[in-house]
C-alpha cells in the first residue's frame, strides 16, 4: 500500500477548465515532488517543495501552478491546459531533500490526466 | 553530466526463466543508483539501491543488482521470473543536487 495518496485517480478536462490535483502524505516528510510521465517514458521532474517552500521549478509552463499549503499536502493547479499535457502526474515525497540519496522517495499511484 | 542508459526497450522472458536488465551510468564520482518498478497505471516502487559498500545489493521481490565500476553498470537480476514481475523497470541515478535522473525504462513481458 502506498503512503502517498493522490486524488483524483483520473481526470478529464477541457482546455478552458480549471482543476486541481491533490497529494497527501502522513509520513512526516518535508520534501514533496511533482513528476509528469508520458506513456512509455520515464518520469520528468516538474517541481520540488522543501519545508513548504518551492525549491525547484524545472521551467514548467505557468498553466501548471503548484501549491504546498502545509507539510502534508501538495496541490497542482491546472488552467488552460493543452492536449499535449495529457499524462500521468506523479506525486512523491522524501524525508527531506538529502533523504532522497538513500532512495527514500515514495511515489503515489498517480493522477491520469486527459485534456480534450 | 549524470545519466543512465537502459539499452533494452523491451524484454520478453518465460515464467521461471532468469532475468537480467541492463543499466549503464555516466557519473564522475561514486553514484547513488536505484532500480524502480512500475506496474501498469501505478506509481513507482523502489526495488533496491546502491551507494556504497557491498557491490551486490539485495532488494525486494527476489531482485538483486550488481554495481560494476569498471563497466559503469548496475544490472538488475532475478533467478526465476514470476508472471507478476511483468512491469516497467527504471534505473535511476542521483546527481549532486539530489535530483533523480531516470533511464528510459525497460518493459518486461512474462510469457507462461
Q: Using one digit for the tens of pLDDT, what is the confidence trace for A3-35?
A: 999 999 999 999 888 999 999 999 999 999 999
CB A20 within 8 A of CB A8: no
In chain A, pLDDT over 90 holds for what percent of residues?
Answer: 75
Contact between chains at A97 and B98 (C-beta distance less than 8 A): yes
Q: Positive or negative CA dihedral for A12, A13, A15, A18?
A: negative
Cross-chain residue pair A112–B41, CB shorter than 8 Å: yes
Report the alpha-carbon distance of residue A106 to residue B83 in Å, rounded: 24
pLDDT (0 to 100) of residue A2: 53
Please, are residues B62 and B84 in contact by the beta-carbon 8 Å criterion?
no
Least confident segment among A60-64, A79-83, B7-11, B99-103? B99-103
- Helices first, then strands: H and E counts in chain B: 0, 12
Q: A84-98 b/e with 16+ CB inside 10 Å = b?
A: ebbbbbbbbbbbebe
Q: Show residues of chain A in contact with B53, CB under 8 Å.
A: none
Q: Would you tell me how many other CB atoms lie within 10 Å of the CB of residue A41?
A: 14
Residue A37: closest C-alpha in chain B = B43
Residues B83-102 have a mean pLDDT of 87
Task: Identify the pLDDT of residue A31.
Answer: 92
Joined together, the cell numbers standing for residue A34 give 511533482
Nearest Cβ partner for B42 among A92, A105, A109: A109
Q: So what's the pLDDT on residue B30?
A: 73
Q: How sure is the predictor about B22, in pLDDT bands with cuts at 50, 70 and 90?
A: very high
Nearest to B104 among A42, A48, A88 (CB): A42
Tell me: pLDDT of A1 over 60.
Answer: no
In the numeric block, the cell 556504497 is attached to B52
How far is the CA of A107 from the CAs of A18, A56, B19, in angstroms? 25, 18, 25
Q: Report chain B residues whose CB lies below 8 A from the CB of A56.
A: 99
- Asked if A97 lies within 8 A of B46 by C-beta distance, the reply is no
Q: Which comes out higher in pLDDT, residue B107 or A105? A: B107
**B50 to chain A, minimum CA–CA distance in Å?**
8
Across the range B39-54, mean pLDDT stands at 88
**Interchain contact, B104 vs A101, CB within 8 Å:** no
Would the pLDDT of B27 be above 80? no
Nearest CB among B45, B51, B90 relative to A42 is that of B90
Closest CA of chain A from B2, distance in Å: 14
User: Which of B98, B103, B104 is the closest to A100 by Cβ?
Assistant: B98
For chain A, how long is the longest CA-to-CA vector?
41
Which residues in chain A touch residue B102, judged by CB atoms under 8 angstroms apart? 42-43
Query: Does B96 score more than 80 pLDDT?
Result: no
Q: Is the pLDDT of residue A88 over 70?
A: yes
Classify each residue of B1-37 as buried b or exposed e, where b means 16 or more C-beta atoms within 10 Å of its C-beta: ebebebeeeebebeeeeebebbbbbebeeebbbbbbb
Q: Under 8 Å CB-to-CB from A94, ≥6 apart: which residues?
A: A29, A31, A33, A100, A104, A105, A106
Q: What is the rounded average pLDDT of the residues A68-95?
A: 95
Amino acid at each position: 500500500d502506498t503512503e502517498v495518496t493522490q486524488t483524483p485517480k483520473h481526470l478529464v478536462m477541457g482546455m478552458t477548465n480549471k482543476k486541481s490535483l491533490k497529494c497527501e502524505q502522513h509520513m512526516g516528510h518535508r520534501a514533496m515532488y511533482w513528476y509528469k510521465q508520458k506513456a512509455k517514458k520515464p518520469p520528468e521532474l516538474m517541481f520540488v517543495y522543501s519545508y513548504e517552500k518551492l525549491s525547484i521549478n524545472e521551467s514548467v509552463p505557468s498553466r501548471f501552478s503548484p501549491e504546498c499549503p502545509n507539510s502534508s499536502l501538495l496541490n497542482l493547479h491546472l488552467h488552460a491546459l493543452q492536449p499535449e499535457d495529457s499524462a500521468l502526474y506523479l506525486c512523491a515525497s522524501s524525508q527531506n531533500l538529502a533523504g532522497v540519496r538513500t532512495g527514500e522517495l515514495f511515489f503515489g499511484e498517480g493522477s491520469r490526466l486527459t485534456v480534450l | 553530466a549524470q545519466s543512465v542508459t537502459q539499452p533494452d526497450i523491451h524484454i520478453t522472458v518465460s515464467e521461471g526463466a532468469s532475468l537480467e536488465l541492463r543499466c549503464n551510468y555516466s557519473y564522475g564520482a561514486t553514484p547513488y543508483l536505484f532500480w524502480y518498478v512500475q506496474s501498469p497505471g501505478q506509481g513507482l516502487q523502489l526495488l533496491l539501491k546502491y551507494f556504497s559498500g557491498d557491490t551486490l545489493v539485495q532488494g525486494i521481490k527476489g531482485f538483486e543488482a550488481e554495481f560494476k565500476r569498471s563497466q559503469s553498470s548496475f544490472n538488475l537480476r532475478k533467478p526465476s521470473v514470476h508472471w507478476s514481475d511483468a512491469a516497467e523497470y527504471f534505473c535511476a541515478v542521483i546527481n549532486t543536487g539530489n535530483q533523480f535522473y531516470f533511464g528510459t525504462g525497460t518493459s518486461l513481458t512474462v510469457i507462461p
